[in-house]
Structure 1
Amino acid sequence: MPIDPAVALAAPARTTDLAWEQKDVILYHLGVGAGAQRPATDPDELRYTYEKDLQVLPSFVTVAGGGLAKAGAFNQPGLQINLAQVLHGGQRIELHRPIPAAGQAVLTSSLAAVYDKGKAAVLVMRSEAADADGPLYTCDTEIFVRGEGGFGGERGESTRIALPERAADFRREVPVRHDQALLYRLSGDWNPLHADPDFAKLAGFDRPILHGLCSYGVTLKAVVDTVLAGDASRVRSYSTRFAGIFFPGETLRVRIWQDGADRLLVSATSVERDDAPVLADTVVTYQP
């Protein structure tokens, strides 16, 4: 069978070296819209785009040093997958401490779980990074593989999160540049779906779509700027489900609900398409 859960889960973890510099962080921040919503030299934006006092948005870890691509999600025993059947279903990051603006780390990656959703299989790839000072961050990447379910495995727990019925406590609308995907792809995701109109049409879209992980970064920046006084180091974890597509040039509506002293519930939708969902089941935990 294309997926053999027992073999895949027993495969040894893989390690790879990561390295990043300040310019990588700045390029990533530009790729998720830093400097576009206020004057570029506003001090609140320069904290993302200028090496003096540069902070790191935690979602940067998805591209740091080559990012999740270096985890080699499908390059292991027990997985023979048609990439045309693969969807990025969800993403979670846990920060053990703030990410340095330049650094080196060792990334250790393994398959943490295989779930049987009936018509699809869900793989959970876990990547853990550590540097000379110890654990740095953990990423869980949820991958849907259509047509590979039905093997009799565990279904896994539901991650659906009901939003409060009250109006959001915070709200931010973020216009996304028409060239945002072209900027973001410079951080390492070269999929032509996000740049080539002809390729996008072959995939069933009228035009190129924005990277899901770009929407992920845009949303986290909106949360940090709106609720955490622009201090990205306060973020402790950030999880989401990719619920729909988003097109460059649209406006991302981010709604945020306070859920306890250190937890935020978030939704992200497209303003121009009647609040079509983009990110759902989204949670940010933080240092109060």
Structure 2
Amino acid sequence: MPIDLDRALGAPPATREIAWTSRDVLLYHLSLGAGADAATDPELGYTYERGLRVLPTFAMVAGQGISSGDRPPTAMNMPGIDIDLRRILHAGQGLTVHRPLPASGAATVASRVAHVWDKGKAAMIVLEQSATDGEGGLLWTTNMRIWARGEGGFGGEPGPEDRWAAPDREPDVTLESPTVPGQALLYRLNGDLNPLHADPEFAGAAGFDRPILHGLASYGIVAKAVVDGVLGGDVTRLRGLSVRFAGPLFPGETIRTRVWREDGGLMFQSTCPERDDAPVLTHATAEVST
């Protein structure tokens, strides 16, 4: 059985040591489209090591790196869970940053399976991670929700309802974020080598016409758009970001993000205008500081 519920939930947190440099941060920003209009605005705050500011969503790739010896993963493997990558989708992501991220650093990351919800035809696997520095100070925490097709029906709890609705008024800001056809090929150099984002044959077997953009790429692109378009370019004001990945985005398409200012933060949703505003990110909130 691919999911052993008791083993998955009972396993102790797995820990690993990570480190990153400004080059990792620069690559991450470039993979989100920073500096795309370099002739008029090279966005040096994102693309040049002097005075480099770090998007909080860099936490999602910090320490993953890439080398010529890496091989693309073929399954999701952890205690009690062994599922072919073609059966899983990244369903949602949450991030809380506890202090501004340094351009270079090191951390200890602890990971555990927090929940496995029974959704009938699928299982929702909730992975939690926390990163601490060498002195034990908390840097960030994350909550990743993985949709595993065909793994439900085991009699487990369905999980809490996710109540969310866009405000019944016009958005305060609408942001447009174009992507380029090679965006996924660049973004995967951050360390996510899932062939779904590069190999047309693999993407076809997963039910897509062609490779799709990483959900976390859309996540980072929208985070950058919100920082630049709503928070005055101040990366330190973005303290948390939670979204549901509602639909695929194909490299070369545009992300349109409608933002509403609400007490204590922002609500937003992102769509693809080339496909009649098909949903890309929903149930989306951002925690911001003043």
Q: Calculate the TM-score normalised by the size of structure 2.
A: 0.91
1:60 to 39, 58, 65: 58
Q: Give unpaired runs (5+ residues) of structure 2.
A: 66-74
Q: Which residue of 1 aligns with 2:208?
A: 205
The answer to whether structure 1 residue 153 and structure 2 residue 151 are counterparts is no
Q: Which residue of 2 aligns with 1:42?
A: 41
Q: Which amino acid aligns with 1:28?
A: Y
Aligned 1:170-209 pairs, distance under 5 A: 170-209=173-212
What is the aligned length?
A: 281
The answer to whether structure 1 residue 249 and structure 2 residue 224 are counterparts is no
Kindly tell me: are residues 123 and 271 of structure 1, through their superposed partners in 2, closer, same or farther at Cα, counting changes over 3 Å?
Answer: same
Q: Which amino acid aligns with 2:155?
A: G
- SS of equivalent residue, structure 2 residue 270: strand
Aligned 1:15-34 pairs, distance under 5 A: 15-34=15-34
Q: Which residue of 1 aligns with 2:89?
A: 87
The answer to whether structure 1 residue 137 and structure 2 residue 140 are counterparts is yes
- SS of equivalent residue, structure 1 residue 162: coil
Q: Which residue of 1 aligns with 2:226?
A: 223
Q: Which amino acid aligns with 1:29?
A: H
CA distance, structure 2, for counterparts of residue 202 and residue 6 of structure 1: 31
Q: Which residue of 1 aligns with 2:114?
A: 112
| Cα RMSD after superposing both structures | 1.9
CA distance, structure 1, for counterparts of residue 39 and residue 191 of structure 2: 24
CA distance, structure 2, for counterparts of residue 153 and residue 40 of structure 1: 55
Q: CA deviation at 1:199?
A: 3.4
Q: Which residue of 1 aligns with 2:69?
A: none
Of 125-134 and 214-223, the range deviating more from structure 2: 125-134
Q: Which residue of 1 aligns with 2:8?
A: 8
Q: Which residue of 1 aligns with 2:170?
A: 167
- SS of equivalent residue, structure 2 residue 169: coil
Contact 1:208 1:247 survives alignment (8 Å):
yes
Q: Give unpaired runs (5+ residues) of structure 1.
A: 68-72
- SS of equivalent residue, structure 2 residue 222: helix
The answer to whether structure 1 residue 123 and structure 2 residue 122 are counterparts is no
Kindly tell me: are residues 76 and 199 of structure 1, through their superposed partners in 2, closer, same or farther at Cα, counting changes over 3 Å?
Answer: closer
Q: CA deviation at 1:74?
A: 4.6
Q: Calculate the TM-score normalised by the size of structure 1.
A: 0.92
Identity among equivalent pairs (%):
56
Contact 1:117 1:155 survives alignment (8 Å):
yes
